[in-house]
Amino acid sequence: MFRAVSRLSATGVRSLARSRPCYSAPLASRCYSHGKVETDEEFDARWVTYFNKPDIDAWELRKGMNTLIGYDLVPEAKILDSALRACRRLNDLASAIRILEAVKDKAGPHKEIYPYLMQELKPTLSELGISTPEELGIDKL
Amino acid sequence: MLHLSARRVGSLLARRATAALSTSSARMASHDVAQAADMSQPMYWDRLDTPLPDKPFKDVLTAADKSLKQKEKGPWSQLTKEEKIALYRMSFCQTYPEMKQKTSEWKTVIGGMFIFLGFTGLVVWWQRIYVYPPHPRTFDEEWQAKQLKRMLDMRINPVEGFSAKWDYEKGQWK
């Protein structure tokens, strides 16, 4: 996830720092120093597994996405990939496009994150036939 | 002649009151008042931080919509751009850019503020004319002049303050 300011270069070179803050800020854990801290990889894996459930239902998709967007981070490409595949299983193209819009909004002022994610997700998007909001022209007013 | 007992009058009045209430509530229901949303049902919303609402935007689907929904079950690459946009608009009312649009609400807010400040100014002005009592006589020009002369004659604060600034030889301020 991109927790701190992303250190991606303007050319979007993939040597990105999955930028780590100086201290490993635990996500979704409270501030007790004795508790187990979840790593980034564990977090990602947990969410990928959540969306990979073969018989995921629409409520779980909505709940998962809304919760994920509520976190102070931009989800990794692999989490989004499995969320988009969940939309495909549910025959819900609109939600897939909505997810892409939400992720762009989550990046906020860090304009390099969304193009990077689109680059990462390009194979999935073309495989599933999902058009990006830009392709559909709904990214403009 | 009319022997209306207290009980009868009471019941008569009670019936009148309930009749009045029922007709007024019936009247209220008949004209256009905004219906409060039924919060016990799944609701739709457009929110940046909650992308997927509990229900799709369009509830009632036309036959064309329904057939498009069927087509959605197949490969999405077979959908045209317009069809994809139509599917999006069926589920969602506003896109993210539309949600983030600037409104002119601030003009209403500032304008309203000035209106109320202006109105307050008018009220204060009216008060000054009609409510405030006349000035005490100590505020008259003549009285103030005499007061000043008295202060100078008494040598008020002669070292560094009031009278220190008056030139007693020349009879003017220093």
Domain range for B113 is 104-132
The parts of chain B modelled with pLDDT lower than 70 are 1-32
Same domain (yes/no): B112, B87: no
Distance CA A136, CA B89 (A): 12
Same domain, B144 and B116: no
| Nearest chain B Cα distance for residue A34, angstroms | 31
Please name the member of B53, B56, B88 whose beta carbon is closest to the beta carbon of A97.
B88
B113 and B85 part of one domain = no
Q: Do residues A118 and A137 lie in contact, with contact meaning Cβ atoms separated by under 8 Å?
A: no
Does B143 fall in a domain?
A: yes
Distance between CA B91 and CA B46 in Å, rounded? 11
- Shared domain for B73 and B88, answered yes or no, is yes
Domain assignment of residue B46, yes or no: no
On whether the CB atoms of residues A85 and A99 are closer than 8 A, the answer is: no
Q: Strand, coil or helix: what is B136? A: coil
pLDDT of residue A19: 47
Q: Are residues B4 and B35 in the same domain?
A: yes
Which of B91, B81, B76 lies closest to A124, judged by CA? B76
Contacts of A101 in chain B (CB under 8 A): 51, 95-96
pTM above 0.80, yes or no: no
Q: What count of CB pairs under 8 Å joins A to B?
A: 81
DSSP for B36-97?
A: PP-TTS------SS--S-SS-S--S--HHHHHHHHHHTS-GGGS-HHHHHHHHHHH-SS-HH
Same domain, B77 and B110: no
Looking at the fold, whether B96 and B60 belong to one and the same domain comes out as yes
Of A74, A93, A103, which to mutate for an interface test with B (greatest number of B Cβ within 10 Å)?
A93
- Residue A38 DSSP one-character state: P
What is the complex's ipTM, to 2 decimals?
A: 0.76
Q: Which residues pair with B172 in a beta bridge?
A: B167
Q: Are residues B96 and B111 in the same domain?
A: no
B90, two tokens: 């069926």
The answer to whether position B26 is within a domain reads yes
pLDDT for position A5: 45
Q: Are residues B112 and B96 in the same domain?
A: no
Residue B65: count of CB within 10 angstroms of its CB: 14
The verdict on a CB contact (< 8 Å) between B97 and A70 is no
Check residue B12 and give its pLDDT: 59
Q: How far apart are CA A87 and CA A96, in angstroms?
A: 6
CA distance A14 to B38: 49
For residue B92, give every residue at least 6 positions away whose Cβ sits within 8 Å of its Cβ, in sequence order, or none: A94, A98, B46, B56, B57
| Chain B residue with Cα closest to A89 | B73
Instruction: Based on the fold, state whether residues B4 and B27 are members of the same structural domain.
Output: yes
Domain count of chain B? 4
- The reported pLDDT for the residue numbered A34 is 85
Those residues of chain A that have pLDDT short of 70 are 1-32
Domain check: are B157 and B115 in the same one?
Answer: no
B89 inside domain:
yes
Residue of B nearest to A58 (CA): B54
CB contact under 8 A, A95 and B101: no
| B116 and B145 together in one domain | no
